[in-house]
């Protein structure tokens, strides 16, 4: 029992440290960015990341099947309704990388786009 | 009328001096008939987007297809067949409306003098229902046929919403190609490009490289595709790839602007960027003479 408490305590501590540092760097408490896909947009459609900082992208759909493809950072996900899809990313280059929906989803499919902006740590 | 044959094309591509415009012809007259037995010509029409209704992009959205039909009917020498390479209709989430658009499209093209018409779907026709309604109206979405010594392969890279051909179709393609020898004349029709033209705009086929690998051993392969609403010429290995203009609205050059939004209608230059393609065979030399025919302005 004591051991379990210790483990939970350690995990909680890691989360708190993570939160205290705005989710940067602390192992086991990587920053999570939640991205909602719906006809016909992503929220948010500008995702700001830091070079070298691991981040978990969590994709959910508000309506139907969508895709997420960011060729510049080699990120690809299938976003199914009722299910969160996560992709861990460690951006290794600075720049603005467009992403788009790559599973045809209807009339506004071509407008389902956004950008990932990767900057250097200050 | 400017003509470019396979040899010239390969040479020019090698020198890096060719642009899509080289293939454009301002003439709209019929291809002169070749006397050699066996030679023929066919048309590629594409991206007619029946059901599209934004007047800022094309105020003649109801009349453009019929205009193309009339222009084709006016060709002095009629083609052996016409291949429509997808996006016959504009997308709709309503399956009944999708069927209505496909049937209306079929009614309009019944006015064509040419009766041998073939079709493959585009993502607007088929991606939302995996090609179900398209198959109901037009039949199989991938198939092969032979015409006067040329082997035609019509591929479907849209019924899967990711734009993939899929293992089953690739296996089928491999089987078809096994029947042919290395010098066979092969023409492939697809909607999306088989190579990575601009994946950021889905101007690619995720597993297209697998199809190109299957086609690589053959000496005479030409791919005609649609999807990008403009002319583009490209070579992968020994395979030539040509996209055609569409018949509803032009799209910007790959990556030339942030979004692949339609080029707005210009009243000073109506029907700009729209047209169809004539392909004349020269079987003796194993060449194709390609003529891009713009839609008349008037
Ligand atoms: Cu989508």
Report all structural domains of chain A as residue ranges with CATH numbers, in order of start: 28-119 (2.60.40.420)
* CATH no. of B6-295: 3.60.21.10
Res. B258 pLDDT band, cuts 50 70 90: confident
Percent of chain B surpassing pLDDT 90: 83
| Contact pairs from chain A to chain B, CB under 8 Å | 40
Q: Is the pLDDT of residue A8 over 70?
A: no
What distance in Å separates the CA atoms of residue B69 and residue B112, rounded to the nearest whole number?
Answer: 6
Q: Is the pLDDT of residue B172 over 70?
A: yes
What distance in Å separates the CA atoms of residue A71 and residue A40, rounded to the nearest whole number?
Answer: 20
**Between the CA atoms of B34, B14, B149 and B69, what dihedral angle is there, to the nearest 10 degrees?**
-60
What distance in Å separates the CA atoms of residue B191 and residue B157, rounded to the nearest whole number?
Answer: 7
What distance in Å separates the CA atoms of residue A67 and residue A79, rounded to the nearest whole number?
Answer: 6
Contact B128 A71 (CB under 8 A): no
* Closest residue in B to A111 (Cα–Cα): B259
**Which range among A11-20, A78-87, B192-201, B250-259 shows the weakest confidence by mean pLDDT?**
A11-20
Q: What is the pLDDT of residue B259?
A: 86
| 0.80 exceeded by pTM | yes
Q: Is the pLDDT of residue A21 over 90?
A: no
Per the model's pLDDT, the better-predicted residue between A4 and A80 turns out to be A80
B window 56-95, beta carbon within 8 A of A:
90-93
| CA atoms within 13 Å, Cβ hemisphere of B121 | 33
A89-119 per-position pLDDT tens digit:
999 999 999 999 999 999 999 999 999 999 9
From residue B171, alpha-carbon distances to B148, B162, B178, B225 in Å are 26, 18, 11, 21
* Closest residue in A to B93 (Cα–Cα): A106
Q: What is the pLDDT of residue A26?
A: 46
Q: Is the pLDDT of residue A43 over 80?
A: yes
pLDDT average, residue stretch B70-99: 97
Domain residue limits, chain B:
6-295
Q: What is the pLDDT of residue A27?
A: 54
Cβ count near A60 (within 10 Å): 18
Q: What is the pLDDT of residue B38?
A: 81
Cβ(A118)–Cβ(A91) below 8 Å: yes
pLDDT average, residue stretch B128-148: 97
Q: Is B124 helix (H, G, I), strand (E, B) or coil?
A: helix
Q: Is A71 part of the contact surface with chain B (CB cutoff 8 Å)?
A: yes
From B127's Cα to the closest Cα of chain A, the distance in A is 6
**Residues comprising chain A, all counted:** 122
Q: What is the pLDDT of residue B287?
A: 83
Pairing of strands B143-147, B150-154: antiparallel
Instruction: Give the Å distance between the CA of A103 and the centre of ligand 1.
Output: 6
Q: What is the pLDDT of residue B5?
A: 54
Q: Is the pLDDT of residue A61 over 50?
A: yes
Instruction: Give the Å distance between the CA of A66 and the centre of ligand 1.
Output: 4
From B82's Cα to the closest Cα of chain A, the distance in A is 27
Res. A13 pLDDT band, cuts 50 70 90: very low
Q: Is B38 left (phi over 0), alpha (psi -120 to 50) or beta?
A: left
B17-72 per-position pLDDT tens digit:
232 223 333 333 344 443 444 899 999 999 999 999 999 999 999 999 999 999 99
Contact A71 B161 (CB under 8 A): no
What distance in Å separates the CA atoms of residue B250 and residue B231, rounded to the nearest whole number?
Answer: 10
Q: Is the pLDDT of residue B156 over 80?
A: yes
Query: Nearest by CB to A104, which of B92, B127, B200?
Result: B127
Q: What is the pLDDT of residue A122?
A: 65
Report residues near ion ligand 1: CB below 5 Å: A 66, 101, 105, 112
Sheet holding B117-120, edge to edge: B117-120, B81-85, B41-45, B275-282, B287-294
From A28's Cα to the closest Cα of chain B, the distance in A is 33
With beta carbons under 8 A apart, name residues in chain A contacting B261: 110-111
What distance in Å separates the CA atoms of residue A84 and residue B106, rounded to the nearest whole number?
Answer: 42
Per the model's pLDDT, the better-predicted residue between A2 and A108 turns out to be A108
What integer best gives the mean pLDDT of chain B?
89
Phi, psi of B101 (to 5 degrees): -65, -40
Contact B161 A103 (CB under 8 A): yes
Q: What is the pLDDT of residue B17?
A: 28
């Amino acid at each position: 029992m004591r051991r379990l408490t210790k483990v939970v305590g350690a995990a909680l501590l890691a989360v708190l440290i993570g939160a205290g540092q705005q989710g940067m760097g602390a192992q086991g408490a990587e920053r999570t960015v939640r991205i909602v896909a719906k006809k016909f947009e992503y929220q948010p459609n500008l995702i700001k990341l830091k070079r070298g900082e691991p981040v978990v992208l969590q994709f959910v759909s508000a309506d139907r099947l969508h895709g997420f493809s960011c060729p510049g950072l080699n990120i690809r996900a299938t976003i199914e309704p009722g299910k969160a899809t996560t992709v861990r990313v460690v951006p290794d280059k600075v720049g603005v990388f467009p992403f788009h929906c790559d599973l045809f989803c209807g009339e506004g499919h071509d407008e389902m786009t956004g950008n990932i902006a990767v900057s250097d740590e200050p | 009328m400017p003509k470019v044959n396979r040899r010239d094309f390969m040479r020019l591509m090698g020198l890096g001096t060719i642009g899509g415009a080289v293939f454009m012809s301002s003439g709209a007259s019929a291809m002169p008939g070749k006397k050699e037995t066996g030679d023929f010509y066919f048309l590629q029409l594409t991206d007619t987007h029946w059901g599209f209704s934004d007047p800022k992009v094309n105020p003649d959205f109801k009349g453009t297809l019929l205009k193309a039909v009339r222009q084709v009917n006016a060709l002095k020498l009629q083609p052996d067949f016409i291949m429509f390479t997808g996006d016959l209709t504009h997308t709709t989430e309503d399956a009944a409306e999708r069927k209505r658009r496909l049937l209306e499209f079929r009614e309009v093209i019944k006015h064509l003098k040419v009766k041998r018409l073939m079709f493959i779907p585009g993502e607007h026709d088929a991606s939302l229902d995996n090609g179900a309604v398209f198959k109901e109206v037009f039949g199989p979405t991938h198939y092969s046929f032979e015409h006067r010594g040329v082997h035609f392969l019509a591929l479907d890279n849209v019924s899967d919403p990711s734009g993939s051909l899929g293992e089953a179709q690739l296996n089928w393609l491999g089987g078809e190609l096994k029947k042919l020898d290395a010098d066979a004349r092969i023409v492939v029709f697809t909607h999306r490009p088989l190579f990575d033209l601009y994946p950021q705009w889905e101007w690619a086929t995720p597993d297209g490289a697998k199809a190109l690998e299957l086609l690589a051993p053959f000496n005479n392969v030409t791919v005609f595709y649609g999807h990008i609403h403009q002319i583009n010429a490209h070579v992968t290995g020994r395979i030539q790839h040509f996209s055609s203009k569409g018949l509803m609205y032009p799209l910007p050059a790959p990556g030339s602007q942030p979004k692949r939004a339609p080029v707005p209608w210009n009243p000073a230059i109506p029907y700009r960027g729209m047209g169809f393609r004539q392909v004349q065979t020269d079987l003796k030399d194993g060449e194709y003479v390609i003529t891009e025919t713009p839609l008349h302005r008037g």
